Amino acid sequence: MSTPQLAAVLLAGGSSQRMGQDKALLPVNGFRHLGERNWQQLIELNPAALWLSRQTHQAELGLSAPDGCHYKILTDDISDAGPLAGIQAAVKAALNDQIDELILLPVDMPHIRSQDLQQLISSGRAANKAACYQQDSLPICLPLYLPVSQELLHWLNEQLQNPAARRSVGSLIHTFDNVQLPSPGNHALTNTNTPDEWAEH
């Protein structure tokens, strides 16, 4: 049986309103910025493709993929629709490019490690279900492993075209079968949305 084709996606297209500056460009020791730090975690997964979810008006991050790994920038079809729009763009690209599965990582997680992502991939792949972590018995919606399907794209399109829909990753997890793993600890699931949170990270 052939290995599923994995695309690793960095979700870096948000408005960063509460932070007051582009979260992808926040400085991190050892890297040019947080975007590069989390991109490196995705590279270490050895995916078939590395995709950056980023809007056309946002600054270039200067990222690239290793030889033999397909790289592209994805833009949202629907603006200001949150991470669900980035996921929809990734699922659409995956179906077009014969990609079987996605690992989706938001740019604002300064402590996430490649092994935390690999755990989601391994567990989700074994169950053929979406996979995320949980904390205090509640799902942590991102990072997220997703098997790609037309059914998933159809649901995402319906959500994004319906102004009354919640348009949340939580709704996606509630709708589709999933496995939820215990938190890996070490602040791995901490995200940063405000200058105060960034100062504490």
Tokens 């492993």, located at residue:
145
Phi, psi of 159 (to 5 degrees): -60, -45
> What pLDDT sits at residue 58?
82
pTM of the model: 0.93
Question: What is the Cα–Cα distance from 38 to 42, expressed in whole angstroms?
Answer: 7
pLDDT tier at 136, thresholds 50, 70, 90: confident
Q: Mind listing the domains of the chain with CATH numbers?
A: 6-200 (3.90.550.10)
> What pLDDT sits at residue 196?
62
Q: What is the pLDDT of residues 7-58, one digit of tens each?
A: 999 999 765 555 557 888 989 989 999 999 999 999 999 999 999 999 888 8
pLDDT tier at 135, thresholds 50, 70, 90: confident
- Write down the mean pLDDT value for the chain: 91
